[in-house]
């Protein structure tokens, strides 16, 4: 879903808004009016009317308002310039310029002690940092704005601030804080009895619950939001509530309800001209028909969704539509087409990944330039302060020449104090820079570890595809050619026997190749989840008759993050490999337990056991691999074993 973070823009007076109806009539009023504070307000209103159609002209009028307001000493006009001009700079993608102007507006508001405008300016600084994706700084300024608005009981500003904070914390996946502010915003909207604010707050609260996996709690909120939005003809909130409701029902597996929801959202999105809503609705209908096994309609709506996403360059939606079409082809028995569509989806995902990297690089460049501008502003302020200090010292020297000794002592004290202040500033900057370097190094090590594990799994997946689709296809083709050749060639008994043995060896090679490809990246794991993958793997091991293997599932099967499922699968593979190599066991138990918050793995055997104190001294990579994968997911590993008593390994992995 799409959410916008609103700037707290000061609104022109009602009398002035009623004075003019459009830019043309306002221009006539401006030309006939004298330069006073009301004229400065007219300049601001003129800029507001031009923002969406001609941002450069809007900035021109805001500059006019600033010049006149400075001339008249009109503080309100000066602050209104900053709050309005920064909105335009954000529209133009110049978040760094917007940030500097907003920071300056905060200084002015504090200088004049205007709490109402200070709250708005602090909120605007938060929005600027949000545009630069510096979420923690955005939160800091939103919280400062919130304190003032709460003290002044400014309901309108508080509603916007709570919504901003809820959405920032949701982006950071800090759902407890996000829920706190979403609930506050909803309570405030209900208290004000504003149906537009209530429906929007309900959707925000429900979206956070959806992100937490609490779809059953989200649905009643969305139903209420939908009813209110329909009553007041708020089509955009109505569409958002429908799409979120469809997403929640899909996650809950309520596929029978998807058709009515997404048909309604499709009609509404087409009516209000929302192409992304059309794309999502068509894909939702495709999933509905897929799960009721109406593959013809499923393919129809999935294809429509892909066409819309391709036309509007919605890469994420294109990848999801291709994946849906791949699943449809798989159920139609078109394995090769399914693999091709899945490969296209992977290519789009790779493109998204590359664009995100480029975006991160650009964002870091903007942040760096912004820091330079901030530092330049600080240096300018320091230079101004030093010049002012020098002037005061000269005036003091001239005015109290007769008291030279006292004047010299005062000057020496001022110089020493200034030097100490500069020293403290430099020391503080050095401490901050050192802390940032340590943080960056830690993040770099974490990213490197994540990249290695992710790269290993991606390489396994690619290699499995290459083996299955490339080499497997070639071997199957060779087998087919040899079988055809057999019927056209006359062989004696010995050669015929040799020929048959060669065909058997080729069959064995193809089977072994498929087994290897399946072990590297089982398709059942990707498509149907960890439970089905482990069950299939354990069944395959049982057929090898190495030991008697039992598999158990505790709880209801759930889908976890794909990275978590793959790593959990690899851990079980490694543990069972250790049992086969070293345990000399006759019976093995593999147990998988799933809850909403975590999954647990238990592997037990009745083998010879071992001394757990010597695990760190073992040279093999098996236990090291298991520990590194568990640590990567912030999980817990518990090993219980002793010589002659068998081994039990219990692993808990949080839902990420």
Residue 359 belongs to some domain of the structure: yes
Euclidean distance between CA atoms 549 and 608, whole angstroms: 16
Per-residue model confidence (pLDDT) at position 6? 31
Residue 279: pLDDT over 90: yes
**For the segment 170-185, what is each residue's pLDDT rounded down to a tens digit?**
888 899 999 999 999 9
Which three-class secondary structure string do you get for 224-235?
A: HHHHHHHHCCCH
DSSP state of 534: H
The separation between CA 304 and the C-alpha centre of its own chain, rounded to angstroms, equals 26
Taking the whole predicted model, whether its pTM rises above 0.75 is answered as no
What is the Cβ-side half-sphere exposure of residue 322, based on CA atoms within 13 angstroms? Answer: 20
Spatial separation of the C-alpha atoms in residues 569 and 591, rounded to whole Å: 12
pLDDT at 364: 54
- Least confident segment among 196-205, 381-390, 490-499, 603-612: 381-390
Length of the chain: 656
* Residue 629 domain boundaries: 524-654
Q: Per-residue pLDDT for 227 more than 50?
A: yes
Percent over 70 (pLDDT), the chain: 79
For the chain, the domain total comes to 4
Residue with the bigger pLDDT between 6 and 502: it is: 502
21 has pLDDT over 50: no
* Cβ contact 125:99 at 8 Å: yes
Residues 487, 534, single domain; the answer is no
Residue 447 lies in a domain: yes
pLDDT tens digits, one per residue of 441-478:
655 654 555 555 555 555 555 565 555 455 655 666 66
pLDDT at residue 9 greater than cutoff 50: no
Q: Is 193 inside a domain boundary?
A: no
Q: Parallel, antiparallel, or unpaired: how do β-strands 587-594 and 548-554 relate?
A: parallel
Token representation of residue 543: 């057929």
369: three-class secondary structure by DSSP? helix
Q: What is the pLDDT of residues 98-107, one digit of tens each?
A: 888 888 888 8
CB atoms within 10 A of CB 103: 19
CA–CA distance, 508 with 310 (Å, rounded to integer): 44
Distance, CA of 604 to CA of 624 (rounded, Å): 19
Asked whether residue 560 carries a pLDDT value surpassing 90, the answer given is: no
Q: Do 499 and 553 belong to one domain?
A: no
Same domain, 112 and 88: yes
Domain edge (last residue) among 462, 491, 521: 521
Domain closes at, from 485, 500, 521: 521
Phi, psi of 91 (to 5 degrees): -60, -35
Residue 17 has pLDDT above 80, yes or no: no
The CATH number of whichever domain residue 89 belongs to comes to 1.25.40.10
Distances (CA, A) of 330 to 319, 458, 466, 475: 16, 22, 18, 22
CA gap 287, 141 in Å, rounded: 42
> Quick check: 538 and 551 in contact, CB under 8 A?
yes
Residue 626's beta-bridge partner residues?
none
In a domain, 210, yes or no: no
Determine, yes or no, domain membership for 213: no
Question: According to the model, what pLDDT value does residue 656 have?
Answer: 65
Q: Which of 67-71, 392-396, 422-426, 432-436 has the lowest mean pLDDT?
A: 392-396
Note whether 476 and 516 are same-domain residues. Answer: yes
Q: What is the 3-state secondary structure (H, E, C) of 177-193?
A: HHHHHHHHHHHHHHHHC
Q: What is the CATH number of the domain that holds 578?
A: 3.30.565.10
Mean per-residue pLDDT for 570-598? 90
Write down the pLDDT at residue 16.
39
493 membership: H or E segment, kind and range: helix 493-520
Lowest mean pLDDT among 143-152, 273-282, 359-368: 359-368
Tell me, yes or no, whether 54 lies in a domain.
yes
Mean of pLDDT values over 513-542: 77
When pLDDT is cut at 50, 70 and 90, the band that residue 543 belongs to is: confident
Same-domain status, 500 and 547: no
């Amino acid at each position: 879903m799409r959410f916008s973070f609103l700037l707290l823009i000061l609104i022109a007076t009602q009398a002035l808004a009623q004075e003019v109806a459009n830019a043309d009539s306002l221009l006539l009023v401006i030309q006939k009016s004298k330069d006073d504070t009301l004229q400065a307000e007219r300049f601001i209103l003129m800029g507001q009317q031009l923002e969406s159609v001609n941002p450069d002209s809007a900035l021109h009028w805001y500059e006019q308002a600033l010049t006149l307001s400075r001339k008249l000493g009109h503080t309100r006009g000066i602050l209104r310039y900053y709050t309005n001009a920064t909105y335009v700079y954000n529209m133009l993608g110049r978040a760094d310029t917007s940030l500097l102007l907003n920071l300056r507006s905060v200084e002015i508001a504090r200088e004049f002690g205007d709490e109402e405008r200070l709250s708005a300016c602090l909120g605007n600084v938060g929005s600027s940092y949000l545009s630069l994706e510096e979420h923690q700084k955005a939160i800091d300024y939103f919280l400062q704005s919130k304190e003032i608005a709460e003290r002044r009981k400014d309901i309108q500003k508080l509603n916007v601030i709570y919504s901003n904070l809820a959405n920032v914390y949701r982006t950071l996946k800090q759902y407890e804080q996000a829920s706190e502010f979403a609930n506050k915003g909803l309570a405030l909207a209900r208290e004000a009895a504003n149906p537009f604010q209530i429906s929007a707050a309900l959707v925000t609260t429900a979206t956070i619950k959806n992100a937490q996996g609490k779809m059953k709690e989200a649905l009643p909120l969305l139903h209420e939001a939908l009813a209110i939005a329909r009553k007041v003809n708020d089509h955009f909130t109505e569409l958002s509530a429908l799409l979120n409701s469809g997403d929640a029902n899909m996650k809950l597996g309520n596929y029978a309800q998807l058709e009515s929801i997404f048909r309604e959202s499709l009609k509404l999105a087409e009516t209000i001209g929302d192409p992304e809503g059309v794309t999502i609705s068509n894909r939702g209908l495709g999933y509905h028909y897929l799960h009721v096994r109406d593959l013809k309609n499923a393919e129809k709506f999935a294809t429509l969704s892909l066409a819309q996403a391709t036309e509007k360059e919605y890469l994420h939606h294109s990848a999801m539509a291709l994946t849906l079409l791949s699943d449809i082809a798989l159920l139609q028995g078109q394995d090769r087409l399914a693999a091709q569509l899945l490969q296209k989806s992977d290519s789009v995902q790779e493109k998204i990944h590359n664009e995100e990297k480029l975006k991160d690089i650009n964002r870091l460049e903007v942040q760096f330039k912004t820091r330079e501008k901030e530092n330049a502003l600080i240096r300018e302020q320091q230079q101004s302060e030093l010049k002012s200090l020098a002037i005061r010292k000269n005036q003091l020297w001239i005015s109290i020449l007769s008291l030279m000794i006292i004047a010299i002592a005062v000057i020496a004290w001022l110089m020493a104090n200034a030097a100490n202040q500069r020293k403290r500033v430099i020391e503080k900057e050095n401490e901050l820079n050192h802390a940032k370097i340590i943080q960056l190094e830690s993040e770099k090590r974490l990213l490197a570890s994540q990249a290695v594990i992710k790269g290993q799994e991606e390489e396994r997946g690619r290699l499995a595809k290459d083996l299955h689709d490339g080499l497997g296809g070639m071997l199957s083709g060779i087998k087919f050619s040899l079988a055809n050749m057999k019927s056209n060639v006359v062989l004696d008994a010995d050669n015929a026997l040799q020929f048959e043995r060669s065909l058997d060896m080729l069959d064995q090679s193809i089977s072994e190749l498929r087994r290897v490809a399946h072990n590297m990246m089982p398709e059942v794991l990707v498509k149907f989840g960890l439970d089905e993958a482990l069950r299939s793997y354990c069944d395959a091991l049982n057929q090898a008759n190495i030991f008697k293997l039992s598999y158990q599932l505790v709880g209801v099967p759930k889908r976890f993050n794909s990275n978590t499922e793959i790593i959990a699968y690899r851990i079980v593979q490694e543990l069972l490999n250790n049992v086969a190599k070293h345990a000399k066991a006759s019976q093995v138990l593999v147990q998988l337990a799933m809850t909403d918050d975590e999954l647990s793995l238990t592997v037990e055997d009745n083998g010879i056991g071992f001394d757990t104190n010597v695990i760190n001294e073992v040279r093999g990579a098996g236990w090291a691999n298991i520990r590194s994968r568990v640590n990567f997911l912030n999980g817990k590993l518990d090993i219980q074993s002793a010589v002659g008593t068998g081994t039990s390994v219990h692993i808990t992995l949080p839902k990420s």
